[in-house]
Amino acid sequence: MMRSLLDQISEARHTVPMNGSRGAAILEPLQELAGASTRLLHSPVLHHSGRSIERFIFVGSRGGGDAISIGIFGGIHGDEPAGPHALVKLARELEQNPSLGTGYKIFFYPICNPAGFERGDRFSGNGKDLNREFWKESPEPEVQMLEGEIRAQRFKGLISLHSDDTSAGLYGFVRGAVLTKSLLEPALTAAQRYLPRNLQNTIDGFAAHNGIISECYDGILTSPPRLENSPFEIILETPQHAPLEQQVEAMIAALKSVLAEYQRFLAFAADI
């Protein structure tokens, strides 16, 4: 009988592998899955300093055109475990039901701040909030690796997963392509099966409407500035004090909604 999600999360949170790494408890199941899969590839991103960020790539069946590259990022803050857990579960669901990823090439970066994740701390090994360092010529190796990935892969969409310890409900930030808000709204609706939406007029210091914010902090993980064709960019926030299992399920529901809605958008655009 398949273990429940709660059992899997509990095991990953409380079992420390032989090498003592909290990150390994998240990453080793993905590495094993990739090793047995014909669709999921394991290909770490390396830095000249010797540091690395784990990268997994799910290659979906061919759709109607070129594969759509999407980047999904978790664990940029090491004290927010819901994102990494959600990416493990999404990879498993894609492996079991590949049609969810038809037409996509999905890049998973489950733990973007490995040192912070090991400590359960927001900050990097150098004491930096990495989500304030992007596109500022940062010397932080993790930022340099992720900026290089974003430039090289030319993603059509970027999704960052976060948890907010000051919010009692779900919300999200939108940037980039005009259609982004149209992707986030149904994603939040799907996630509401598991957690409530934050409907406050001000969230995290920004004006919000129905849980959607159109501004964001300077230096967050985004596409490069002044791109001619901006990808859609979504930052999804779950309430950090909610049960971890519910946060994970909410993130999975939101991610699957975004993938489905973007597929529908592209199909509609092709018919125009």
What would the DSSP string read from start to end of 29-69? Answer: HHHHHHHT-SSEEE--EE-TTS-EE--EEEEPPP-SSSPEE
pLDDT tops 50 at residue 12:
no
pLDDT tops 50 at residue 272:
no
pLDDT tops 60 at residue 6:
no
Q: Which residue carries 């489905």 as its tokens? A: 260
CATH architecture of the domain with residue range 5-271 = 3-Layer(aba) Sandwich (3.40)
Residue 218 is encoded by which pair of tokens? 């300077």
Residue 76 in 3-state DSSP?
coil
Span 117-131, average pLDDT: 96
pLDDT tops 80 at residue 15:
no
Residue type, 137: E
Domain boundaries, the chain: 5-271
Strand partners, 235: 160, 173
76-80, 207-211, 215-219, 225-229 — which is least confidently predicted? 225-229
Q: Which residue has the higher pLDDT, 185 or 268?
A: 185
Residue 198 is encoded by which pair of tokens? 């934050």
pLDDT of residue 226: 82
User: Cα–Cα distance between 24 and 30 in angstroms, integer?
Assistant: 10
pLDDT of residue 265: 87
Span 87-104, average pLDDT: 94
User: Phi/psi of residue 97, each to 5°?
Assistant: -135, 75
Q: Which residue carries 């489950």 as its tokens? A: 110
User: Cα–Cα distance between 254 and 218 in angstroms, integer?
Assistant: 25
Residue 129 is encoded by which pair of tokens? 């909030």
Q: Which residue has the higher pLDDT, 65 or 24?
A: 24
Strand partners, 163: 238
pLDDT of residue 269: 64
pTM value? 0.91
Strand partners, 171: 237
The DSSP call for residue 170 is B
Span 219-237, average pLDDT: 92
C-alpha distances (whole Å) from 113 to each of 76, 127, 223 are 5, 11, 18
pLDDT band at 21 (very low <50, low <70, confident <90, very high): confident
Percent of the chain with pLDDT over 90: 81
Q: Which residue has the higher pLDDT, 35 or 11?
A: 35
Q: Any long-range contacts for 13-18 (C-beta under 8 Å, 24+ apart)?
A: 13/81, 13/244
pLDDT band at 9 (very low <50, low <70, confident <90, very high): very low
Q: Please give the mean pLDDT across all residues of the chain.
A: 90
pLDDT of residue 10: 44
pLDDT tops 80 at residue 85:
yes
Percent of the chain with pLDDT over 70: 91
Crossing angle, helix 82-96 and helix 244-271, to 10 degrees? 50
Residue 23 is encoded by which pair of tokens? 């990150």
pLDDT of residue 1: 35
